[in-house]
């Protein structure tokens, strides 16, 4: 009987010690991306939030004739959401609106 009680107590202790704890939600500060070329803006954003951060939505504000965003260094970030300095989490919506340089 003593062995059973000791084994039961050890199991209870292990379950308490190994119980998952609620991890604090990670947050980041939205970097300032406006005015940068898209390639540099994406690099800064990924450096800031890493793999755990929210997806950065890219909105093409150029005319359809301008084509798709195939060469990010040839596009300028005109607007961003949220504004620089705002706290964001993995569930935040983040986006940049881009256009050809000088067309913002």
Q: Torsion angle, CA of 79/80/81/83, rounded to 10 degrees?
A: -100
Decide: 69 and 58 in contact? Cβ < 8 Å: yes
26-99: CATH class: alpha beta
Q: Which residue has 């939505």 as its token pair?
A: 57
Q: Domain spans of the chain?
A: 26-99
Q: Give dist(CA 100, CA 91) in Å, integer.
A: 29
pTM listed for this prediction: 0.74
Q: What does the pLDDT look like over 83-102, one tens digit per residue? A: 999 999 999 999 999 999 99
Q: What does the pLDDT look like over 11-38, one tens digit per residue? A: 544 555 554 555 567 999 999 999 999 9
């Amino acid at each position: 009987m003593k062995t059973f009680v000791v084994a039961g107590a050890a199991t209870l202790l292990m379950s308490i010690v190994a119980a998952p704890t609620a991890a604090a939600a990670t947050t980041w500060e939205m970097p300032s991306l406006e005015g940068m070329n898209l390639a540099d803006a994406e690099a800064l954003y990924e450096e800031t939030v890493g793999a755990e951060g929210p997806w950065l939505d890219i909105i093409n504000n150029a005319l359809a004739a301008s084509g798709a965003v195939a060469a990010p260094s040839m596009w300028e970030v005109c607007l961003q959401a949220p504004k620089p300095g705002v706290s964001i989490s993995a569930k935040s919506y983040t986006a940049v609106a881009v256009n050809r340089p000088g067309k913002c």
